[in-house]
Each structure stands twice: as C-alpha cells, then as structure tokens.
Amino acid sequence: MKHTRQATAPRLAPYAFVAPAVALFVLVLLIPIGYTLYLSFEKTQVSGLGLGAGARRQVFAGLSNYASGLGDPAFLASLLRVLVYSMILVPVMLGLALLFALLLDARRVKFQRFSRLSIFLPYAVPTVIASLLWGFLYLPTVSPFPAILHQAGLSMPNLFTTHTALFSVANIGIWGGTGFNMIVLYTALRAVPVELYEAAWIDGASQVQIALRIKIPMIGPALVLTGVFSIIATLQVFNEPQTLAPLTNTISPDWMPLMKVYDLAFNDNNTYGAAALSMVIAAGMFVLSYGLLRFSNKRVFQGR
Amino acid sequence: MALTRTDGALTYGPDAETDDGKRRGGQGRGRGQGTAVLPTAILFLGTVYCLLPVAWVLIASTKNDSQLFNTSTLVPDGSLWSNIGALSSYADGVFWHWLLNTAIYAGGGALLSTVVSAMTGYALAKYQFRGRSALFTCCWPGCSCRRSCWPCRSTCCSPSSG
C-alpha cells in the first residue's frame, strides 16, 4: 500500500498543482474565444418586417462577416493608423527610457533617487485618468500651456487636428510607459558587473563611450524584450483614444482597430461582425507576438 | 580631477560634492567629484515632463468650475474640500462604494492570481509530467497580451536569465 502511494504521488501532484490554472485558462480564455469564433460565422436573418417573436433568427453566415470586416476601408485605415502610432510611440518611449536609465546609472549626476521616483510615477496613474488629464492639458481653455507660450510670444497649436492627434495620443502612452521601461532597463544596468566599467575607465574610456560600448550592448536582451512587449501593447491601444474621443471630432469611433470592434459591438449592435474582426485582430496579434518572441529569443538567448 | 571640480563648482557647494562622492564611491561606481551639469539637466527635464501633469491635476482639484476656467491654471484656489464634499455626496456616497469594489477586485484578483501562479510555477519547475511543455506554451499569450506583467517581464528582462 505504501509502495503504490509513493509511486502515484509524484504523478498526480503536478496535475493537482496546475489544475486551477488550467481551469481558469479554459473558463476565461478558451471558452470565450471558442464562443467568439462561433459567433463570427453567424448572422441575424430578418424575415418580413422584423416584428414578432420568430422574425429575427440567428443563421449561419459563412465568411460574410470576415469579408465585410476586412473590406471596410475604415478598418483598414485604423490598422494603418495603429502601425504609425506604434512606430511613433515605441522608439521615442524606449529611447527616453534608455536615456534616463543611463543617466540614473551614471556618475556625477544629481537627484537620481528623486528623478527615478518622479519618472516612474506616471506608470501608477491609470491610463483612463492619464488620458483625461492630458486631454485637459491639450484644451486651450483649461491648459496652462497657452499662458506659458504666450509669455514666450508663441501660441498654442491645435493638438487635435488630423495630423497632430496621433502625436497627442502617443504622448500619453510615452508619458505613462517611459518610467516602467526605464526601471526595467535600470535594473538590467545595475546587474552589469562594476569591474567592466572600472576596466574601461582605466583604459581611458569616457562616460559616453562606456555607455555606448559597454552598457547598451550589455543590456541588449532587456532592450529587445522591452521593445517586443511595447510593440504588442501599443498595437492594442484602446483606453487613451476612447477616453479622448468625446473631446474632439478628429478621433472617430473607429479610429483604432479595437475601437472599431467596440463600435461595431455596442453602437451598431453587430455582435457577429465584431466577433469576426476580433478573431482577425487576435490571429494577427498571435502571429506577431509569436514571431517577435521567437526573434527575441534568438537574439536574447543565443546572441551572447 | 581638477577639471571636474571646477565643472561642479558652477552648480553646487563642496559639501554636497564630497557627500555624493563618498556615497557613490561606497558602491564602487563613483570616483569622480562634482556634478555633470548637462546630464543632470536632461534628467531634470524628464522629471518636469513627468511631474507637471500630476502637479496640474493637484492644483485643478482645488478649483471649482468657474475657477477652473477663469483663474490661472497654476495657482491653487480654495475649493478642495467642497470638491471632496461634492464627490462624497454624489448619489448618496456611491463613490466610496465604488472604491470598496475596486479594493475587493484588486485585492482578490492579486491574491487569486498569486496563489494560482505560484502553484503552477511550482509544478512547472519541480515536476516532469505529460503536457508540461504544452502548458508552458499556453502561458505565453497571456503574458504577451497584458500590458502590466511585472514578474514575467522583469524576470525575462534581467540579463542574468540570459
């Protein structure tokens, strides 16, 4: 009896440990995705005037939801827009994060502890509140910037034109995300052995040379991973533009891909179309994350 | 050294310099003295960029509707307590109920996800079993789709794990 228990215990234990995670995974991820997939192939069929109990029926739609979703110029425009948004946001945010991380790690720079805390602070502000906050700062009537610019003889540009709105929204992402990435990069910098800097210093390297030739290559893996995660996060932007949309007509309800899905589902009541677009976006994100992670795994774990 | 000292003397007194030099020197990183002016200025600009909106919202919280639009946006007014009073009395104090909901949601969510993650992580680390690698693969999408995945990102990003 004792023998069998010893033999079976290690075989059952791991499954018992992972059971809650698997149950949650199935319940909150697999089943909703499966249901969305099912809905994406359905549509509402209206018979007669659409009145009465049996007048509206849910029927199989084939690929028609996918065809109309992918054929929608507004959706394609939003896809292009989110790509441009990501290309603006990620390099600026990571560039600033790297710059600040290097400055926090550099010698003879003052106020490092205070700066570290201050620059990280916006990360603690929820994105909806950050968007409202910056939205007010962008509006000339309540913003402090027109008064400051007026003193310098300048006037405040309109931050919600078709050309500037993308930058205005990207600024919110940069403001909220720089601190987090800075901390990740700073942590990586602190883990680099000090002896390397000492050796370079004795060899006559300047602080800038040490930063460019030792520090940045040493935290290459951290840079690649923060880049990958930032790209994935920015392509799913929703909160910032959705919160700013009431302030301006420039940000339409289908400005970004996820806003388009929301608009279809809750303004047009087209659950099936929204399901189809969700599946398209999810598939795209999955392929992209998988590709990026494979790429970064190669760079990070075999590159050194 | 003499050059860096004059460089630093432009901005800060000698006490601050030696103090800073000692502290950083103790960590084995700070051998020079004085302040690097340009890097400190850049870091200061970053701090202003990050703090200014927060300062603005703190000041705005002390203004009522007409003060918000008619007085200088960088000078505080005296309406903070009446604003908080208005918030508290809104719909019979429903705001505090919402705050409680948030606390339950955040606390419960954190507790649940920590317990479940710890159990799963333990099994993945300590046992070899059928389906282990499949399970490990399933963890990735959840990780990559979340914006704020502290433990995953910070462990992945530390160079020692490479």
* Tens-digit pLDDT profile for residues A222-249: 998 899 889 989 999 999 999 999 988 8
Does residue A90 sit at the B interface (CB-CB below 8 Å)?
no
Domain count for chain A? 1
Domain identity same for B27 and B61: no
Q: What is the mean pLDDT of residues B106-118?
A: 94
- Residue A155: predicted pLDDT: 84
Q: Is there a domain that residue A63 lies in? A: no
- Tens digit of each residue's pLDDT (9 = 90 or more) over B9-40: 333 333 333 444 334 433 444 445 688 889 99
Is there a single domain that holds both residue B31 and residue B43?
Answer: no
Please report, to the nearest 10 degrees, the dihedral formed by the alpha carbons of residues A231, A235, A240, A241 taken in order: 140
Would you say residue B84 lies in a domain?
yes
User: How many angstroms separate the Cα of A243 from the Cα of each of A34, A51, A137, B50, B74?
Assistant: 30, 37, 14, 20, 24
Model confidence over A102-157: pLDDT tens digits? 999 988 888 999 999 999 999 999 999 999 999 999 988 888 888 888 888 888 88
Q: Is residue B137 one of the residues assigned to a domain? A: yes
Asked if the structure places residue B134 within a domain, the reply is yes
Comparing A228-232, B41-45, B121-125, B147-151, which segment has the lowest mean pLDDT? B147-151
B contact residues 1-20, partner A, Cβ 8 Å cutoff: 4, 8, 12, 16, 20
Residue B131 has pLDDT above 90, yes or no: no
The 3-state secondary structure of A134-191 reads HHHHHCCCCCCHHHHHHHCCCCCCCCCCCCCHHHHHHHHHHHHHHHHHHHHHHHHHHC
B48 lies in a domain? yes
CA dist., res. A173 & res. A231, Å (int): 12
Q: What are the tokens at B11? A: 């901005």
Domain-located, residue B76: yes
Residue A8 has pLDDT above 70, yes or no: no
Q: Mean per-residue pLDDT for A29-42?
A: 92
pLDDT surpasses 80 at B152: no
Q: Please, which pLDDT band fits residue B138 given cuts at 50, 70 and 90?
A: confident
The ipTM estimated for the assembled molecules is 0.83
Which one has a higher pLDDT value, A39 or B5?
Answer: A39
Mutation choice for A interface testing from B47, B67, B119, B137 by most A CBs within 10 A: B47
The span from the CA of A146 to the CA of A157, in Å, is 9
pLDDT of A300 higher than 70: no
pLDDT of residue B107: 97
Looking at mean pLDDT, say which of A94-103, A242-251, B130-139, B151-160 comes out highest.
A94-103
pLDDT at A43 over 80: yes
B3 and B48 co-located in one domain = no
pLDDT per residue as tens digits for the range B36-54: 889 999 999 999 999 999 9
Tell me the C-alpha distance between B144 and B137, whole Å: 12
In a domain, A64, yes or no: no
Residue A8 lies in a domain: no
pLDDT in tens, A156-174: 888 888 889 999 999 999 9
Least confident of A52-56, A196-200, B40-44: A52-56
Q: Is the dihedral of CA A34, A36, A39, A40 positive or negative?
A: negative
Of the residues B24, B56, B89, which one is the last residue of a structural domain?
Answer: B89
pTM for this prediction = 0.80
Are B83 and B105 in the same domain?
no
Specify the CATH number for the domain of residue A277.
1.10.3720.10
Residue B149 has pLDDT above 60, yes or no: no
Tell me the count of A-B CB pairs closer than 8 A. Answer: 179
Asked whether residue A27 is assigned to any structural domain, the reply reads no
A215 within 8 A of A105, measured Cβ to Cβ: yes
Per the model's pLDDT, the better-predicted residue between B151 and B135 turns out to be B135
Instruction: Answer whether residue B1 shows pLDDT above 70.
Output: no
| Average pLDDT for chain B | 72
Looking at residues A44-56, what average pLDDT do you find? Answer: 75
Domain extent at residue A200: 72-301
Alpha-carbon separation of residue B65 from A47, A165, A181, B61, B68 (angstroms)? 53, 26, 37, 10, 5
Degrees (nearest 5) of the Cα angle A126, A129, A130?
80
Domain match, B74 and B111 both:
no
Please say if the pLDDT value at position B7 is more than 60. Answer: no
Give the model confidence (pLDDT) of A61-89 as tens digits.
888 999 999 999 999 999 999 999 999 99
Range of the domain at B21: 1-35
Tokens representing A34? 């499966």
Grade residue B143 by pLDDT with cuts at 50, 70 and 90: low
In A24-43, the residues whose Cβ lies within 8 Å of chain B are: 24-25, 29
Whether B159 maps to a domain, the answer reads no
Q: Please state, in angstroms and rounded to a whole number, the distance separating the CA atoms of residues A65 and A219.
A: 45
Find the mean pLDDT for residues A215-226. 90
Query: Which A-chain residues 187-216 have CB contacts (< 8 A) with chain B?
Result: 187-188, 191-192, 194, 197-198, 201, 207
C-alpha A14/C-alpha B122 separation (Å) is 8
Number of domains observed in the structure of chain B: 3
Q: Does B26 touch chain A (CB under 8 A)?
A: no
Q: Does some domain include residue B135?
A: yes
**Does pLDDT of B61 surpass 70?**
yes
A144 vs B73, B132, B138: nearest CB: B73
Asked, for residue B155, whether it belongs to a domain, the answer is: no
In terms of domains, do B18 and B61 share one?
no
Statement to judge: residues B67 and B97 lie in one domain? no
